[in-house]
């Protein structure tokens, strides 16, 4: 059991929230119960996750993608009304951490992605708004793109990533950025990566990868961002003696 304020302060400190320029609020977005016994984590704030929180009798919902974004309308209607109504009716607290969770060197999405591929020694990568949000590194032993694709599919539990196999025969140096970051392939190439792993692909990505001769795997925005929030939930459970449940909505995108 823990007081919400203690959990809130702890997460803000370890994730260095104040250091990031983001386009959403990081931390508490909806304040419910002040005492936390159970926490449920998921990638994105959605009704399915909120209903899972009720089923698990969770007090705190912790996500990577929260409800509020700078570009969104300030009118509360439709799905936003439904989501807020459910949270407030049941006194559920919602917390979200976006870029601070991407960038964390132990608990973050990108550090976890590299470790999933067998890379422990990491270098800063991924410039966004004049801040570094990701990492890159080198495999101990070079592998083929087919071998790496098999590893990604198995460890992220996905079936059909987008593969642009235009780089060298053997891959050693890999840059990653979870979620929607196809534009960072330019930085990956400039820093000598053989392969760039991200979540989403866009149309220009194909031509850049083919013409600049770099491999790219787009493994899904959701799939590449399950790692950080799950690790953060496990960390909270250990630090505050809480019950933690991870709920995967199995979003294919």
Q: Which fold has domain 107-221?
A: 3.40.1390
Six-digit token string for 121 = 């020694």
Structurally, at CATH architecture level, domain 2-102+225-246 sits in 3-Layer(aba) Sandwich (3.40)
Residue 72 near residue 38, CB atoms below 8 Å: no
Element (H, E) at 43: strand 38-44
Annotated domain spans of the chain: 2-102+225-246, 107-221
Do domains 2-102+225-246 and 107-221 share one topology? The answer is yes
pTM reported for the whole predicted model: 0.95
Instruction: Determine the Cα–Cα distance for residues 171 and 147; give it in Å rounded to an integer.
Output: 10
User: Tens-of-pLDDT digits for all 253 residues of the chain?
Assistant: 899 999 999 999 999 999 999 999 999 999 999 999 999 999 999 999 999 999 999 999 999 999 999 999 999 999 999 999 999 999 999 999 999 999 999 999 999 999 999 999 999 999 998 999 999 999 999 999 999 999 999 999 999 999 999 999 999 999 999 999 999 999 999 999 999 999 999 999 999 999 999 999 999 999 999 999 999 999 999 999 999 999 999 999 9
């Amino acid at each position: 059991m823990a007081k919400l304020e203690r959990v809130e302060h702890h997460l803000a400190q370890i994730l260095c929230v104040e250091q990031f320029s983001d386009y959403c609020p990081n931390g508490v977005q909806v304040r419910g119960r002040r005492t936390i016994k159970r926490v449920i984590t998921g990638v994105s704030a959605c009704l399915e996750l909120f209903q899972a929180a009720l089923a698990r009798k969770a007090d705190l919902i912790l996500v990577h993608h929260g409800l509020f974004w700078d570009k969104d309308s300030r009118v509360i209607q439709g799905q936003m009304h439904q989501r807020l109504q459910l949270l407030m009716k049941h006194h559920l607290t919602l917390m979200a951490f976006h870029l601070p969770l991407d960038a964390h060197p132990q608990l973050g999405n990108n550090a976890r992605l590299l470790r999933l591929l067998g890379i422990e020694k990491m270098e800063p990568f991924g410039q966004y708004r004049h801040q570094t949000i990701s990492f890159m590194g080198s495999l101990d032993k070079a592998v083929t793109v087919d071998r790496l694709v098999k590893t990604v599919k198995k460890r992220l539990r996905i079936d059909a990533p987008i593969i642009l196999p235009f780089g060298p025969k053997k891959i050693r140096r890999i840059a990653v950025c979870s979620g929607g970051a196809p534009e960072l392939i330019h930085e990956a190439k400039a820093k000598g990566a053989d392969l760039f792993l991200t979540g989403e692909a866009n149309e220009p990505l194909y031509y850049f990868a083919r013409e600049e001769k770099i491999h790219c795997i787009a493994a899904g925005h959701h799939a590449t961002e399950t790692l950080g929030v799950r690790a953060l939930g496990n960390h909270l459970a250990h630090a505050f003696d809480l019950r933690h449940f991870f709920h995967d909505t199995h979003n294919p995108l």
